[in-house]
Amino acid sequence: MDTIAVVIARGGSRRLPRKNVRSFCGHPLVAWSIVAAACSRLVDYVYLSTDDDEIAEIGKTYGVDGVIRRPDWPDADAVAANRVYRHAIEVLEPMHGMDYTCVQLLPTSPLRKPHDIDMAVAFSREIGGQAHLVGAAPCRETNIYEKLLDGVCQSYTIDKSYRFLAGASGLVNICSPRWYLWFTEKLGTDQDADLDRMLHENRHPDRVFYYSACEPWQAWETDTEVEFEMCEIAMERMILRGEGIGIYEKYRSA
């Protein structure tokens, strides 16, 4: 069974304009997810879904197997990723059918390595590919804070032994196309605000499993100026170590 990585990247961005094409450690941000997937030993094909000409050209430059041009939806600022992935699955069906493992990658979580993708794919195969796996990061301390007064809270330490995880949903998500279509149909919405409300009210359907996929710092995202810079520092010091993007190719050929 093939494994297909789908990177989704739109041209618009509300918090950090044009961040997917912005230089990150010397390359466009979106390129890091493409190259990480391309250098994974267990990924057979890499596709880029976008609504933007510049991002599409970046994808071709960095070696995607194909660009999926999605519509310029008028409500693009409000839709969740499930509409984008559903569209990609529909486009890929004539070429690849529906019996493959889909690896979903967001470029805003660039601190993944090819090895992280391979470990997630291997784990999915080990459990038979029957669940939607969502990456998560271990937390050393798990706290909640009870509000006492405006600006004053009481802290309660729940755990300090890495038994709990924090979501890192943009890092590596894995599912079967058939399952994803079934699951997102069951959700009944592709609006971000609706899905956030469902999670808040604990009405999100089951059969989504979180697994420890990375170090805590790998869960950082590039949604703001400061976060973008912090991710660049982490990438340079913790992953690249002066070798640049070619360190991913070294992993594949090792």
Both tokens assigned to 148? 């006492």
Return the higher-pLDDT residue of 43 and 128: 43
Both tokens assigned to 200? 């808040």
How many other β-carbons are positioned within 10 Å of the β-carbon of residue 125? 14
Strands 164-167, 101-105: pairing kind: unpaired
Tell me the percentage of the chain whose pLDDT exceeds 70. Answer: 93
pLDDT digits (tens, 9 = 90+) for 54-88: 999 999 999 999 999 998 887 777 777 888 999 99
Region of poorest pLDDT, from 44-48, 146-150, 182-186, 191-195: 191-195
Rounded to whole angstroms, how far apart are CA atoms 92 and 4? 10
Question: What DSSP line would sit under 177-194, residue for residue?
Answer: HHHHHHHHHHH---BHHH
Q: What structural domains and CATH numbers belong to the chain? A: 3-136+165-253 (3.90.550.10)
